[in-house]
């Protein structure tokens, strides 16, 4: 079977898993611990996807000292509980399994730090379908999506992946722009957390997992073709 892409880069939050409940709850706990006003759920949803330190700075207006303390509180709370307050989006577990079965190299490319990202994939028993798991560094020094993708490409090259026609799949503008920084096209998924206008420069936008499967050359779920 001839596939249109040679390597898949895949976002996590809002793409593979609906992680918003755990992230929002952890953010609330963090603001309470810092004795800061707690934003409403609609505002906190905007924190899902971008690097968390950027959101603490840009959305909450935190000082450097506050951001460092907020990250410390957030990380402890999230690793303890928040990472598991999530669910796989319907069809995405089989999607990553079928990418694995197809032989296409697959790398996670998420702004979530690698430790909780790996724990989450293991929780849903899909970690073994990824050839590479790339996320933000645990110290958040590498967190911008373009930097995460750069690291994923280095690891994929070392793995022996064919990088001639890679594709990024994600749910936020950061996925589209981060991929574009490396000349990589991106597919936006509408079931995530994007706001209006975020997919203006995406190669395509899909509303269902079957549409996504078709774009990357996988048969529809339940189709017996190989």
Closest to 107 (Cα-Cα) out of 69, 148, 144: 148
Burial (CB count <10 Å: 0-12, 13-18, 19+), residue 135: buried
Q: 83 pLDDT band (50/70/90 cuts)?
A: confident
146-190 confidence digits (pLDDT tens): 999 999 999 999 999 999 999 999 999 999 999 999 999 999 999
Cβ neighbours of residue 194 closer than 8 Å, sequence gap 6 or more:
14, 171, 172, 173, 188
**7-10, strands of its sheet edge to edge:** 132-136, 106-113, 7-10, 166-170, 186-189, 204-206
- The fraction of the chain above a pLDDT of 70, given in percent, is 97
CB 152 within 8 A of CB 109: yes
Distance of CA 182 to the CA centre of its chain: 17
Q: What does DSSP say about strands 17-18 and 87-88: parallel, antiparallel, or unpaired?
A: antiparallel
99-138 confidence digits (pLDDT tens): 999 999 999 999 998 998 999 999 999 999 999 999 998 7
Taking all residues of the chain, what is their mean pLDDT, rounded to a whole number? Answer: 92
First to last CA, the chain: 7
Stretch 69-75: mean pLDDT, rounded? 92
The CA distance from 15 to 92, in Å, is: 8
Torsion sign, CA atoms 175, 177, 182, 186: positive
What pLDDT sits at residue 79?
A: 83
Q: 62 pLDDT band (50/70/90 cuts)?
A: very high
Stretch 82-93: mean pLDDT, rounded? 91
Stretch 198-202: mean pLDDT, rounded? 97
Closest to 190 (Cα-Cα) out of 182, 198, 179: 198
6-25 confidence digits (pLDDT tens): 999 999 999 999 999 999 99
What pLDDT sits at residue 222?
A: 59
Structure-token match 């645990």, residue found: 138
Q: 223 pLDDT band (50/70/90 cuts)?
A: low
CB 22 within 8 A of CB 86: yes
- In the structure encoding, which two tokens stand for residue 177, read together? 């722009």
Cβ neighbours of residue 197 closer than 8 Å, sequence gap 6 or more:
none
What pLDDT sits at residue 224?
A: 44
- In the structure encoding, which two tokens stand for residue 216, read together? 């990357």
CA distances from 167 to 11, 39, 113 (A): 11, 35, 21
Domains in the chain, please, with CATH? 7-18+87-216 (3.40.50.1000), 20-84 (1.10.150.240)
């Amino acid at each position: 079977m001839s596939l249109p892409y040679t390597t898949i880069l895949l976002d996590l939050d809002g793409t593979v898993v609906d992680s918003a409940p755990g992230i929002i709850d952890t953010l609330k706990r963090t603001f309470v611990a810092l004795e800061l006003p707690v934003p409403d759920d609609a505002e906190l949803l905007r924190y899902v996807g971008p690097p968390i330190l950027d959101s603490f700075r840009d959305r909450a207006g935190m000082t450097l000292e506050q951001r460092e303390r907020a990250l410390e509180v957030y990380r402890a709370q999230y690793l303890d509980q928040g990472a598991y307050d999530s669910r796989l989006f319907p069809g995405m577990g089989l999607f990553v399994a079928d990418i694995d079965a197809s032989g296409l190299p697959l790398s996670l490319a998420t702004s979530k730090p690698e430790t909780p990202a790996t724990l989450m994939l293991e929780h849903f028993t899909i970690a073994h379908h990824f050839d590479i798991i790339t996320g933000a560094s645990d110290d958040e020094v590498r967190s911008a999506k373009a930097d995460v993708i750069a690291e994923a490409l280095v690891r994929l090259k070392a793995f022996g992946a064919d990088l001639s026609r890679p594709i990024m799949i994600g749910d936020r503008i950061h996925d589209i722009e981060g991929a574009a920084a490396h000349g990589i096209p991106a597919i936006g998924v509408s079931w995530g957390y994007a706001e209006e206008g975020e997919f203006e420069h995406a190669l395509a936008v899909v509303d269902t997992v079957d549409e996504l499967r078709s774009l990357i050359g996988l048969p529809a779920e339940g189709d017996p073709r190989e």
